[in-house]
Amino acid sequence: MLRKGGKSKTLRYLDLGCGEGLDVILMAKKGAEAVGIDFSEVAIKRARRFARKERVEAAFVHGNPLRKKIDGRFDIVASRFVLHTIRNVYQKRFVETMMAYTKEGGFNVLVYHTTYANGKLIEGFQLNLESFYLKKGWGVRASKEEFSGKGFTHGKPLHWKYVIAQRP
């Protein structure tokens, strides 16, 4: 719940590339109106099953986040570990889609790998994500690169980054 001028309103949360829906379900448990969309039909079926098991109300949509339309605008639009998997030519459009779903004063939260499983640095649009948001008039509230140790399947260092941007 958000408080504004003494009134409570329900936080609206959208997860683009939600996978099996863990973040969506966690937000729904905290009282948010939570929606997740994913390209994988199997992941969406698992997310729905998990939500029923956890007894939370959350919406899960199967489809391409760049093509499938979701109704309304959201306080938080998030995407974790998806951006680096999208072909470079579609990354800007993906972030613009996130921005379009965000309410005034709302936030985009992106988390993505900055190295491939083989240890090679990821190149592309995400390297300039902060400046992209700033050029669009958004505020970058946080941005940090992290190291999470070596991957469990390949033994190479795993680096990732998060960016939190706020719509004016």
CATH of the domain at 33: 3.40.50.150
pTM here? 0.89
**Tokens 């639009």 — which residue?**
77
Whether residue 3 is contained in a domain is answered as no
User: Cα(95)–Cα(138) distance, rounded to whole angstroms?
Assistant: 12
Q: What are the pLDDT digits (tens) for 116-168?
A: 766 677 777 777 899 999 999 999 999 988 876 665 555 666 778 899 999 99
- Which residues have CB under 8 Å from 114's CB, separation 6+? 84, 121, 122, 126, 145, 159, 160, 161
Asked whether residue 38 is assigned to any structural domain, the reply reads yes
Query: Has residue 157 been placed in a domain?
Result: yes
Q: What is the pLDDT of residue 6?
A: 53
Mean pLDDT of the chain: 89
pLDDT tens for 11-31 read 999 999 999 999 999 999 999
Q: What is the pLDDT of residue 162?
A: 93
Residue 123 lies in a domain: yes
| pLDDT for the residue numbered 136 | 97
Give me the pLDDT at residue 153, please. Answer: 54
pLDDT exceeds cutoff 90 at 93: yes
| Range(s) of the domain holding residue 33 | 8-166
Q: Which residue has the higher pLDDT, 65 or 121?
A: 65
Domain count, the chain: 1
Q: How far apart are CA 167 and CA 96, in angstroms?
A: 12
1 assigned to some structural domain: no
